[in-house]
Amino acid sequence: MSLFEKHNETLLKAIDALHARTFYAAFAEHPAPAVYGETADTDGQTKFKSWLGNKFSELKQTGETSWAGQEESPYLQEPLKISYPIFSSKTLVDNAKSSFHVWRKVSAKDRAGILLESLERVKARFFEIAYATMHTTGQGYMMAFQASGPHAADRALEAIAAGYEELNRFPQTALWDKPMGKYNLKINKEWRAMPKGVSVVIGCSTFPTWNSVTGIYGSLITGNPVIVKPHPGAILPIAIFVAEIQKVLAENNLDPNICQLAVDTYDKMITKELAEHADVKLIDFTGNSAFGSYLEALPGKTVFTEKTGVNSVILDSTDDIDKTAANLAFSINLYSGQMCTAPQNFYIPEGGINTPAGNVSFDQFAEKLVANINGLIDNPKAGPFVLGAVQNKKTSERVVEAEKIPGKVWLKSRSFENPMFKNARVATPVIVEVDVTKQDIFSKELFGPIALLIKTKDTDQSIHLAQAMAQQHGAISCGAYTTDAEVKEKIADAMALAATPVSFNLTGGIYMNQNAAFSDFHVTGGNPSGNASFTNPEYVTKRFTWVGHREPVA
């Protein structure tokens, strides 16, 4: 049985899910022993610990010049001391160019089978990846398991499915038969989906697999060799993915350099060298807007970016103000606000928020939000695991600086004790009320657990500001609460014009931070927060070109 035949049922289900947009998950998101095995967690933790202080020796690429690694655990605030092979940009690109002519001639079916098999292998390492993610990003255990394991694998599968479907949209051959009266003009035609060339995927420090695998697998399924350039602070989670891809390639007598890991260090980064290389044709990037805009401006490149944005919450009316405050408090606390979808600007009318129990004033809502944030932080069974740790020291510094923002400080950031990691780098949210005229303050992304409360004249002004922020500065998510159908449509239409998806009236176990593979498009590509979307057809079709040949029938 071929690998394609082995995984064809999964692929077909994934393609169906792309069209239906209903719930589909190929990989179980709960780390249950019944699903993954009684010893899976312990085995994964042991495997992770075995890498500490050692070389990551699983890669099948060769020609390294040295070994290095600078990852640090936000929970321990100590170096992991894992070293990885270091390669020159020239070696990486030369290897990719050589493997390009091998990989592009592998059929779409065989590519899909190989890539799906790699995900099956990665599944066996979800727990190892979870601990690697915890100790590079600071995510809590459950988020680290879900986001870097099953959710990332689902996003990868989504990219494979989207790419495979687009590669098969048109026939490979056809007989063109045109009646000409006394005879027919017959021409044999063929079409080839030609990959664009070497692909570079630039990872981020907070979501090293979830944000990278879509580009990796999107390029691979369409026939492009990939150089994976992780963030120096978060290498191990994606290194495991790359290692498994290389193993399956080698087992199928293919060059493992079809997918390479390109590790660098803070003092000698190679991102620009790779991005500017004439032979690099595709670039995927997640990170800050300045670098993303630089990449977008590079000539001769097809670039897919997810950059920064200013995410808003519009509060008009709600059926349950307490559940609303609790839901939003969780969103602010989740991974200490270190998500590109986390809420930042809360627009609240000066006349208050309408509820069945009566009007809730601006100050009353602020008090409820603060109380819910504190309640979660102070819950020893939930708080430390929801907030996790802060990945970057600069984020902690930004939180301290946020308390100096002009306006009323409703909540100051404080530390808390993580029962498992006494030395964890932590920061609880800071909440500041900002005057509606101070757009220079709330028009910037303040990455981390920082929320701004903005008192508006009315809901119309709230909508206008949320839309303007998205159009001018980008937004990846938006939350809105209203019981009025006309207001709901007004918000939906305004934010759609700003290419920003809206989560309406969330009060239960789903939050505006979250995106589901096969259903939610992550980033729209329609505002300054990014020029691409996980995973619409354009995300894969821009990675290859249709070329047709024809010849008259003899």
Q: What is the pLDDT of residue 508?
A: 87
Using N-to-C axis directions, what is the helix angle for 108-123 and 150-167, rounded to 10°? 170
DSSP state of 478: E
Confidence of residue 346 (pLDDT cuts 50, 70, 90): very high
At 57 the pLDDT is: 96
pLDDT, average across residues 511-521: 95
The mean pLDDT of 86-98, rounded to a whole number, is 97
Residue 59 class from Cβ within 10 Å (0-12 exposed, 13-18 middle, 19+ buried)?
buried
CB contact at 8 A, 529 and 288: no
Residue 506 pLDDT more than 90? yes
- Which pLDDT does position 549 carry in this prediction? 98
Angle CA 155–114–101, to nearest 5: 105
Going from the N-terminus, what domains does the chain have, and what CATH number goes with each? Answer: 3-307+532-552 (3.40.605.10), 312-504 (3.40.309.10)
For the residues of 39-63, what is the DSSP string, one character each?
THHHHHHHHHHHHTTSB--------
Q: How far apart are CA 171 and CA 216, in angstroms?
A: 26
Instruction: Give mean pLDDT, residues 268-291.
Output: 97
Q: What are phi and psi of 9, to 5 degrees?
A: -60, -40
Neighbours of 350 (CB within 10 A): 12
Res 359: pLDDT: 96
| Three-state SS sequence of 280-330 | EEEEEEECCHHHHHHHHCCCCCEEEEECCCCCEEEECECCCHHHHHHHHHH
CA–centroid distance for 515 within its chain: 9
Do the beta carbons of residue 421 and residue 135 sit within 8 Å?
Answer: no
Q: What is the pLDDT of residues 304-314, one digit of tens each?
A: 999 999 999 99
Q: Does the pLDDT at position 211 exceed 90?
A: yes
Q: What is the pLDDT of residue 81?
A: 98
Instruction: List pLDDT tens digits, range 38-64.
Output: 999 999 999 999 999 999 999 999 999
Spatial CA neighbour of 280 closest among 220, 235, 217, 224: 224
| pLDDT at residue 212 in the model | 98
Say if CB 478 and CB 512 are below 8 A apart: yes
Percent share of the chain, pLDDT over 70: 100
- Pairing type for strands 184-195 and 173-179 reads antiparallel
Residue 167 and residue 163: Cα distance in Å, rounded? 6
* Position 164 confidence tier, pLDDT thresholds 50, 70, 90: very high
**In the predicted model, what is the mean pLDDT of the chain?**
97
> Which residues, 6+ apart, have CB-to-CB distance to 371 below 8 Å?
325
Q: Is the model's pLDDT at 554 over the cut of 90?
A: no
In this model, does residue 203 exceed pLDDT 90? yes
pLDDT range class, residue 417, cuts 50, 70, 90: confident
